[in-house]
A and B are shown apart, each in its own frame.
Chain A
Amino acid sequence: QQAEGLVHSSFRRLSGREKKEMQKEILSILGLPGRPRPHPPLRPPSSAPLFMLDLYHAMSADGEDEGNEIIVNGPGMGKFGGAERLAQVSHAVLPTLSTHTPPLGTVVSEADTVMSFVNLVEQERDLLQPRPYWKEFRFDLTPLPQGETVTAAEFRIYKTLTMGQRANRTLHISVYEIQRETRHREPELVLLDMQSVPAGQEGWLAFDVTSASNHWLLHPRSNLGIRLYVETEEDRSLSAGWIGLVGRRGPRSKQPFMVTFFRESQVPCRPPR
């Protein structure tokens, strides 16, 4: 009875202070200085949380199947997607939440942290203005995890089907990093990624923006965003909205976002607490 009493004596209600200490400990394990306070409303979830949930489930499934890396870079599935990826997404039978296909592969399985960033600024030169048309996006990458380096970064944008376009027409979509802006002049641009997709396809497009995010990580002030151009095979400039690329005003589940993969730069060492 004495022994039983001793065992059960450890099962007691925590005091308020102990509760706070334990919460602080769990937050510390998660690498957080305090409890985050996201701004409401968070419902319904937008595209980035949905994508991250898919990624979480994929990683969890991988964790259960221990020892195996997630390697899904099979035929027709490039590291960061592309036209083949777009085709696969649009034809895949996906769960309720999944309107996305996470970029599974070694990048994901090796990542210690994955962060999605909401698009903050969207500017465009559309049909009412002279050509070439473009669309700009900007993401705030300042709350980056400390002691981690970027291994990959993707800009994800959804393409819907639009009327009045030949389905077999090929569209060239290119994404540039805006390196310098000057008044009354075109900014300096550096090509990040380009994809050729059929006009009659619908789904997520993923562009490799790793070099830009590395640049922004080193020089946060140089983050002027990215610019997207659409051209036909005849080099004719098209508006992003006209070919069905969804922007900030589109449905929440299809809004563009950026996802960045990080890896701890050194052997993790927990600070003394």
Chain B
Amino acid sequence: AVKPHPRKKKPKYDLPVPNSRCDRSPANNGGQPCKKHELYVSFSDLGWKDWVLAPTGYSAYYCDGECFYPLGSCMNATNHALIQQVVHLLKPNEVPKACCAPTKLSPISVLFYDDNNNVILKKHRNMVVKTCGC
């Protein structure tokens, strides 16, 4: 906890208030609750079958709902949940608790060829969100 500097002016910008659709209870704010969906990344659909030996693809979960802080190329699920949690602490009545924090991360292994025809087996220990708070 850091005390704000007394002379420091309030910043011009303010934390945005989300249009809460990521709430656990649909009754709260009348929003759509978060729903867990499965996303399948197919290596053959990506046209990568010539260099990815295994697996054919992998599945992960993602949240579906109108989250104010959506997952983007620069934000993973954990960051998303952290931000929402911070905003919730600041404005508990306006922003619900983060409900889509990953609670369990599973490993994935990918077997692929490199440019020199060497074969690489890469294991990512905590990569795929298998369970989240939804």
Contacts and interface: CB of A to CB of B under 8 A. Distances in A.
Secondary structure dominating the interface of B = strand
Contacts of A268: 125
Contacts of A12: none
A100 to B, nearest CB: 13
Interface string A91-120: 000000000000000000001111111100
B63 to A, nearest CB: 10
Given A30-B112, A53-B54, A116 B118 contact: yes
Given A60-B109, A116-B118, A143-B115, A49 B124 contact: no
Contact of B113 (A29, A31, A42, A112): A42
B123 A6 contact: no
A113 B114 contact: no
30 contacts: A3-B32, A6-B32, A10-B64, A23-B46, A25-B73, A26-B41, A26-B46, A30-B110, A36-B114, A38-B113, A38-B117, A39-B115, A39-B116, A48-B118, A49-B119, A53-B54, A56-B53, A56-B121, A59-B121, A59-B123, A63-B107, A112-B122, A112-B123, A113-B120, A116-B119, A116-B120, A118-B116, A143-B115, A143-B118, A273-B74
Interface of A: 3, 6-7, 10, 21-23, 25-26, 29-31, 35-39, 42, 48-49, 52-53, 55-57, 59-60, 63, 111-118, 140, 143, 145, 268, 272-273
Interface of B: 21, 32, 35, 41, 46, 48, 50-51, 53-55, 64-66, 73-74, 106-107, 109-125, 127
